[in-house]
Structure 1
Amino acid sequence: MRFIKLILISIVGFAILISLLSLLFPSQAVVERSGVIDAPMTVVYGQINDLRTWSQWNPWTKMEATNSLEFSEPAYGTGAWYSWANPKKQGVTSGKLTITRSEPAKGVYYELLYNDMRPVSSGLEIKPTKNGDGTVIHWYLVTKLGWLPWWKFRGFMADRLMGPQVEQGLTELKERCERNK
């Protein structure tokens, strides 16, 4: 009986310790990368504003491209969206990306809803380079984690998990835009 009591007290103490430790972590996870594309802003904006082109440079859309992608009509500009579903994975993997704001001089901002995940607010911000020949691009993803410890610990690893994919996407977008300028 004493052993069971000790185990229960240890479990409760550990849970309290984890909860208190999670309060030290930020309540949102941010992943961001920037780069310079040697192409005019109009070319870059054309790529990031049209959701049908995303499967050629966006690493997450490329992963889902073999599944059922469904696009809004039109598939560009504010309010455009695409959704996907993959019943072959364990459970059904599905989600929806919606452009919330699109401005040629600023970039494209979107909301990503993915089953069993927190919503992600994201943006692909663009501005001209100092000499005006190229485009500076900044891609960011922000996830509000709330106060639950398991989400905050997961958010702590967000940059390590998603950062390389964002870099890959920017590299492929850069190559595509520079080819099409």
Structure 2
Amino acid sequence: MLKKILLILAALVVVLFAVIAMQPADFSVSRSTTVNAPPSAPFAQVNDFRNWAGWSPWLKMDPDTKVTFDGPAEGKGAKYAWVSQKTGEGNMTILESQANERILIDLIFVKPFAGDNDVEFTFKPEGNGTTVTWTMTGKNSFMGKAFSLFMSMDKMVGGEFEKGLADIKAAAEAPAPAAN
């Protein structure tokens, strides 16, 4: 009887591993919003990591996040690293910065799970405004595939992208401070 139970459990484990292995190897999460401002306004919010404190949903989750900057103040080569009790640890580097059009970022997660993802922001003129699109793509590790059985990456971070885009919109649409 014990032998049959162990065989059944072993078979279930094999089936579970097979199901996990068959999950998609790649993921992509993308959200967009329309900003009532020229592309230069939302572009400036993203191109300088120092501006992220005003709109990053992950920094808002943990105001005690330790952030460091390296390289140029903005654009290609700018670097940003964080350590947080709530959101983990990682770093970002701007790989490409095409003024008012596109920003490509290498996003590396160190903790709680290692990962290397591409993040792209695009800024497309639409009438008197700009459509801003935030996309993250990457590879699912075996653990990522297992986790996706219960919650997709889209469900996990899509809502946070929406919050961040809403705050980028608010910052980009805010009137410029009056000169003294």
Instruction: Name the counterpart of 1:63.
Output: 61
Instruction: Name the counterpart of 1:119.
Output: 116
Give the structure with the larger strand fraction.
Answer: 2
Separation (CA, whole Å) in 2 of partners of 1:108 and 1:63: 24
SS at match of 2:50: helix
Gaps of 5+ in 2: none
Equivalent of residue 108 in structure 1, options 98, 103, 106 = 103
Equivalence map 1:1-181=2 (5 Å): 2-3=1-2, 5-86=3-84, 89=85, 93-115=88-110, 116-129=113-126, 131=127, 133-146=128-141, 148=142, 150-155=143-148, 157-180=152-175
Contact 1:64 1:84 in 2 (8 A): no
Separation (CA, whole Å) in 2 of partners of 1:81 and 1:73: 6
Contact 1:43 1:180 in 2 (8 A): no
Separation (CA, whole Å) in 1 of partners of 2:175 and 2:147: 38
Report the Cα offset of residue 64 of structure 1.
Answer: 4.8
Contact 1:125 1:137 in 2 (8 A): yes
How many residues align structurally? 172
Gaps of 5+ in 1: none
Contact 2:28 2:154 in 1 (8 A): yes
State, as a whole percentage, how many aligned pairs show the same letter: 27
* RMSD over equivalenced CA pairs, Å: 2.1
Q: Output the amino acid matched with 2:147.
A: R
Deviations 1:75-122 (A, max 9, x none): 311111111223xx39x9321111111111422111111122321211
Structure 1 pair 153–111 and aligned structure 2 pair: CA distance change class (3 A): same
SS at match of 1:140: strand
SS at match of 1:119: strand
Separation (CA, whole Å) in 2 of partners of 1:7 and 1:80: 57
TM-score by length of 2: 0.85
Structure 1 pair 104–175 and aligned structure 2 pair: CA distance change class (3 A): same
